[in-house]
């Protein structure tokens, strides 16, 4: 373990100010990912700003029926919150599909957004990894890449984003509230994470020293016909090979609105709004779901070990949408 300094912050302004004076400083709350990375020498912060005492651990209602999820609310408390279960069951299902109960009890909503990839080579400091050391190369492209991305990749990086929660947030059009030295701002969730391009070491569009304070969920009609499918190597505590957050708003069997977001296939949660919009007004049927899946996977590229994911992702989309359809019928 490398040496570092440590400070407890008691309000947002203090936390933001404290991190500014440390070039390699990091915020820490649950620490479920950061501490692992520090132990493996993948990340070497020179300072930790403890934000656990900030007043960011509440879930509150908006007047329009939406919710604000505090950044320090644990994943477990979010998933089991009555309002989340009632209004955003897709989010509750996604969170409960992730990690173990012990980790969900520690991990925070804000921290979940900043999870680093679980690429083998990212964690192995003896190998080349552009995400860990820009310009060193990507060992996964010609290496063991069974768990890696098939969409939105570049020759610099084919890592995937590991979060389940983020897949549901992408489907639900969440917004992320951020505090920083230049004031407060809000990012659409679709703009929060980045594709690798030529700078895979940059996971998000959050600037150094900025702090996520909350996540806003808009009012939602997706309370019945929703399903979160996570395809993984083992049922317990494994990251997704492919996951799908599927939601339908129906008038009879006609699609009024549809959301399909995927995890395990790209550097960020993958969603195609243009594809979703093209199915509004169509019948909710397996045939249409199959067509949607084919279009969603347009441009997918396999790298040998992960090529099977292309067909797997298509089948997962169809299954998730059909399960969402049945879920509503059973209520």
pLDDT for 235: 85
Radius of gyration of the chain (CA): 20
Burial 244-254 (b: 16+ CB within 10 A, else e): bbbbbbbeeee
Residue 237 confidence (pLDDT) above 90: no
Residue 24 CA neighbour count, 13 Å, CB half: 10
pLDDT of 328 > 80? The answer is: no
Q: Which of 107-116, 183-192, 214-223, 233-242 has the lowest mean pLDDT?
A: 233-242
Query: And the tokens for 75?
Result: 């994943």
Which residues, 6+ apart, have CB-to-CB distance to 57 below 8 Å?
Answer: 70, 72, 73
pLDDT band at 236 (very low <50, low <70, confident <90, very high): confident
In angstroms, rounded to a whole number, what is the distance separating the alpha carbons of residues 220 and 64? 10
Average pLDDT, the chain: 97
Q: Is 87 helix (H, G, I), strand (E, B) or coil?
A: helix
Q: Of 135, 116, 118, 266, which is closest to residue 199 (Cα–Cα)?
A: 135
Question: What is the percent of the chain with per-residue pLDDT over 90, rounded to a whole number?
Answer: 96
Edge to edge, the sheet with strand 47-50 lists 5-8, 47-50, 25-28
pLDDT at position 189, please?
A: 98
The pLDDT assigned to 330 comes to 62
SS3 helix, strand, coil % of the chain, rounded to 5?
30, 25, 50
Q: In the predicted model, is pLDDT for residue 200 greater than 90?
A: yes
Q: With 90 as the cut, is the pLDDT of residue 3 above it?
A: yes
The residue-averaged pLDDT of 203-222 equals 97
Q: What is the pLDDT of residue 145?
A: 98
Beta bridge partners of 211: 179
Residues near 126 by Cβ (< 8 Å), separated by ≥ 6?
none
Which helix (H) or strand (E) segment is 93 a member of? helix 89-96
Q: How far is CA 75 from CA 30, 32, 38, 94, in A?
A: 10, 12, 22, 10
Mean pLDDT to the nearest integer, 246-257: 98
CA pair distance 214, 70, nearest whole angstrom: 4
Please check whether residue 165 is in contact with residue 75, taking contact to mean a CB–CB distance below 8 angstroms: yes
Judge whether residue 25 has pLDDT over 90: yes
Whether the pLDDT of residue 74 is over 80: the answer is yes
Residue 253: pLDDT above 80? yes
Residues 55-63 have a mean pLDDT of 97
- Does the pTM surpass 0.85? The reply is yes
Edge-to-edge strand order for the sheet containing 254-263? Answer: 225-231, 242-251, 254-263, 270-271
| pLDDT tops 80 at residue 329 | no
User: DSSP characters for 14-75?
Assistant: HHHHHHHT-TTEEEESS-TTHHHHHHTTS---SEEEE-TTSS---EEE-TTS-EEEETTSBH
Helix (H) or strand (E) holding 244: strand 242-251
Query: Given pLDDT bands bounded at 50, 70 and 90, which one contains residue 244?
Result: very high
pLDDT value at 331 more than 70 = no
Record the tokens describing residue 291, joined without a space. 């067509």
Given a cut of 90, whether residue 263 has pLDDT beyond it is yes
Return the pLDDT at 1: 67
Shortest CA distance to 241 belongs to which of 157, 322, 148?
Answer: 148
User: Once rounded to an integer, what is the mean pLDDT over residues 124-149?
Assistant: 98
């Amino acid at each position: 373990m490398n040496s570092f300094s440590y400070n407890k912050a008691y309000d947002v302004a203090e936390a933001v100010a404290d991190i500014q004076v440390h070039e390699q400083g990091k915020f820490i709350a649950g620490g479920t990912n950061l501490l692992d990375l520090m132990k493996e020498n993948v990340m070497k912060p020179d300072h930790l700003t403890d934000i656990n005492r900030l007043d960011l651990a509440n879930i509150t209602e908006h007047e329009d029926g939406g919710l604000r999820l505090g950044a320090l609310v644990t994943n477990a408390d979010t998933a089991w919150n009555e309002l989340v279960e009632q209004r955003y069951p897709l989010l509750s299902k996604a969170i409960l599909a992730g990690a173990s109960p012990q980790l969900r009890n520690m991990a925070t909503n804000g921290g979940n957004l900043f999870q680093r990839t679980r690429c083998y080579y990212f964690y192995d400091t003896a190998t080349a990894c552009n995400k860990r050391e820009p310009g060193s190369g990507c060992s996964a492209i010609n290496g063991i890449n069974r768990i890696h991305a098939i969409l939105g990749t570049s020759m610099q990086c084919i890592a995937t984003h590991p979060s389940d929660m983020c897949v549901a947030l992408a489907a639900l059009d969440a917004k992320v509230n951020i505090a920083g030295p230049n004031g407060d701002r809000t990012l659409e969730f679709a703009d929060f994470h980045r594709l690798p391009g030529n700078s895979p070491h940059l996971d998000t569009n959050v600037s150094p020293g900025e702090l996520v304070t909350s996540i806003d969920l808009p009012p939602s009609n997706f309370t019945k016909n929703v399903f979160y499918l996570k395809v993984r190597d083992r049922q317990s505590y494994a990251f997704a090979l492919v996951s799908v957050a599927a939601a339908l708003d129906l008038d009879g069997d006609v699609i009024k609105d549809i959301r399909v977001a995927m995890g395990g296939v790209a550097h960020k949660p993958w969603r195609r709004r243009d594809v979703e919009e093209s199915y509004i007004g169509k019948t909710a049927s397996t045939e249409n779901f199959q067509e949607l899946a084919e279009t969603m996977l347009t441009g997918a590229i396999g790298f040998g070990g992960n090529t099977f994911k292309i067909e797997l992702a298509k089948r997962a989309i169809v299954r998730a949408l059909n399960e969402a359809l049945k879920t509503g019928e059973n209520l």
